[in-house]
Amino acid sequence: MKLARRKFLQWAAGAAALLTAPGRAAAQAYPTRPVRLIVGFPPGTATDADGRLVAQWLSERLGQQVIVDNRTGASTNIAAESVVRADPDGYTLLMITVTNAVNATLYRKLNFDLVRDIPPVAGTMLTANVLVVNPDVPAHTVPEFIAYLKAHPGKVNYASNGHGSAPNMAAELFKSMTGTDMVHVPYRSSMTPDLIAGQVQVAFTPIPLSIAFIRDGKLRALAVTGAKRSDALPGIPTVAEFVPGYQADVWHGVGAPKDTPADIIARLNKEIGAALVDPGMIAKFANLGAEPMPMTPAEFGQFIAAEIDKWGKVVRFAGVTLD
């Protein structure tokens, strides 16, 4: 059994015991004061937008304000560690993303363990990146792009918003499954201007951030990275249609500090689950190029463990680790 999955099963057993433990009546009155939802990305990002949708919904359902607290830095690790250190009372929550799953392997000296220290509450949103190229790249399909890369090994640059980011991992997974070679160029700020200008040729970008440039012809979309085609780009195929088994989802969810009462977690899961079947919320997710990802805490925990194992292999392939 994989290590991450084993740790999750240990957590799940403990959570089940909590459900029958005495002294949990306090959750019946929860919450009696504002709740903070910690987001490890700055305002204007897809994770922030998702967090604000969830926070607004929970504020209305819980009768207390849920405040989005953006704590950026160290590729979301600062945000995650602040939640690990918080009181386990349901008043501090974390927006968990695929980046957190990648960091479990990417960082050698984390002060916390994602599976052990941040129990899953609920999944929220699932989307994909889109493989785009500068129009000067002489490839209009994924097979043509693979052939171009193999004819020019190590000569094509791809951009991402940092080591371990979802665009970085999507590109490295593509390289590993196609036997191609591209040079990674990480950006601290927006990579889009250089991508449009041709300073870098390729990127696996979030759909909401690139769709306008695709429609204007400033970028050429070759494929989306999810398991199915995106409603936002219905004419664009998936990478998997040409590279069987390829899938690089971008996902978000909510977690809480270790030892948060199981009935509080259950309450939050119920309220978030209601949001994910609400037609108005579904439409708001669609505007982000995303769809709801409803899961029980156990299902979300299993999903996270599988993602840690999957992206751990990609990190090792890329040969990149950070302190």
Q: pTM, whole model, 2 decimals? A: 0.86
Name the range with the highest mean pLDDT among 12-21, 131-140, 223-232, 313-322: 131-140
Mean pLDDT of all residues in the chain? 92
Helices (H), the chain: 3-19, 46-62, 77-84, 98-106, 114-117, 142-151, 166-178, 192-197, 207-215, 262-275, 279-287, 297-318
Mean pLDDT of 245-273: 97
Look at 15-29, 107-121, 160-174 and tell me which has the smallest mean pLDDT.
15-29
Tell me the CATH number of domain 128-241, given options 3.40.50.300, 3.30.1050.10, 3.30.428.10, 3.40.190.10.
3.40.190.10
| pLDDT tier for residue 207 given thresholds of 50, 70 and 90 | confident
Residue 113 burial by Cβ neighbours in a 10 Å radius (0-12, 13-18, 19+): middle
What's the Cα-to-Cα distance from 297 to each of 119, 208, 267, 300, rounded to whole Å? 8, 28, 11, 5
Give yes or no for a contact between 66 and 58, defined as CB atoms under 8 angstroms apart: yes
- pLDDT given at position 17: 46
Query: What is the residue extent of each domain of the chain?
Result: 3-127+249-318, 128-241
Percent of the chain with pLDDT over 90: 81
Percent of the chain with pLDDT over 70: 91
Does residue 320 carry a pLDDT above 90?
A: no
- pLDDT given at position 188: 83
| pLDDT tier for residue 58 given thresholds of 50, 70 and 90 | very high
Q: Cα 261 from chain centroid?
A: 25
Residue indicated by tokens 């991402």: 160
Residue type, 146: I
- pLDDT given at position 20: 44
pLDDT tens-place string over residues 147-189: 999 999 999 999 998 888 899 999 999 999 999 999 999 998 8
Distance, in Å, from the CA atom of 86 to the CA atom of 17, rounded to the nearest integer, reads 22
CATH superfamily of 3-127+249-318: Bordetella uptake gene, domain 1 (3.40.190.150)
